[in-house]
Amino acid sequence: MADTGESRGVSEQPQNPALARLRAAIRDQWGDLSPAERNVAGYLTNCSPEQVLFASAQDLGASIGVSNATVVRTLQRLGLGGLSALKRDIAADFSADVAPEVRLRQRITQVGQDLDGIRARVYDEAIERLEHGRTNLDATAFRLATQLLADAGEVLAYGVGASELAGRHLALKLNRMGRRARFVGTTGFGLADELLTLRRRDVVVMFVPGRFLRDMEVLLDRARVVGAGIVVVTDELVERLADRADAVLYAPHTPTGITAESLAAIVLSDTLLLAVASLDETRSVEHSHQLTALRSQLLDPKEGRPRR
């Protein structure tokens, strides 16, 4: 039978729902796990939310005495999708229950002052997030989103807060490829002015990791009314928005706050941009040439620096 750790005080810890599901899965599948997988399961049973959130597969493997692959395989065997998926589920409840300043203090405490360790931890989380996003990106939805962007009269890239970076990035790069695009990050009554010019054959790309605002509801409704295409880039709202968008693309946000929230969305945008460019190479190359020519005109011919 699985050692759930209750005899060692785990039951006295605040119950994070994701960890509770993990412990239930371990109890149910204990008999099917290999000895190495049982070692991983037994260790995770006694972990706090913070310990899992701020650990990489390498950290966990080193603590348990198994390989990184064994850690990932165990979580997949338990039906949890891997370490990144588990972190995302833990963070959904952990972030809601813990004040931001407390989470920041915990991040700093976890990473310490070891600069080499900090570098490794940040890069490890970035790699985990991007790999998790790549594995779970729906290929059919990606192809549809690419075609929608390629055929769009104009692309409206929408994002607020941390998602603004991804929205601005997509709009800027599309314009540089010779495709009409604009970024909108307006909220409240000001958004109405931006929506007035939305037309049929335009495409809305909405970056919305988790929180769904009233403004986004209005944007989706307006797009449907005028016949514009809708692409949503999200983490938590894939299922909720599946019936309201033409294509929903998964981009996992950070479970810890250590890496930029928009990291996965920006990389996904770059993937879409390259895919769109490949559909009309001549157009993309020509506008890249024009951009270079315009930049050269802005340089001081004597010093090769921008004119003032």
CB 233 within 8 A of CB 157: no
Handedness of CA 154, 155, 158, 163 (dihedral sign): negative
H or E element in which residue 234 lies: strand 229-234
What are the pLDDT digits (tens) for 33-55?
899 989 998 888 888 877 787 77
Contacts of 18 (CB under 8 A, 6+ apart): 49, 86, 89, 90, 92, 93
Handedness of CA 207, 16, 28, 75 (dihedral sign): positive
Mean pLDDT value of segment 279-291: 86
> Coil, strand, or helix at residue 3?
coil
pLDDT for position 20 = 84
- The correct CATH number of 139-297 out of 3.40.50.10490, 3.40.50.720, 3.30.1280.10, 3.30.70.141 is 3.40.50.10490
pLDDT for position 291 = 86
Instruction: Identify the weakest region by mean pLDDT among 15-24, 34-43, 95-104, 149-158.
Output: 95-104
What are the pLDDT digits (tens) for 172-218?
999 999 999 999 999 999 999 999 999 999 999 999 987 888 999 99
What CATH architecture does domain 6-112 belong to? Orthogonal Bundle (1.10)
Report domain extents, the chain. 6-112, 139-297
308 — pLDDT class (breaks 50, 70, 90): low
Mean pLDDT value of segment 251-266: 87
Task: Answer whether 6-112 and 139-297 agree in fold.
Answer: no
Indicate if the pLDDT at residue 270 is higher than 70. yes
H or E element in which residue 104 lies: helix 100-111
pLDDT for position 271 = 97
Buried b / exposed e over 53-74, threshold 16 CB at 10 Å, is bbbbbebbbeebebebebbbbb
CA dist., res. 77 & res. 89, Å (int): 17
**H runs (alpha helix) in 152-228:** 164-176, 190-196, 214-226
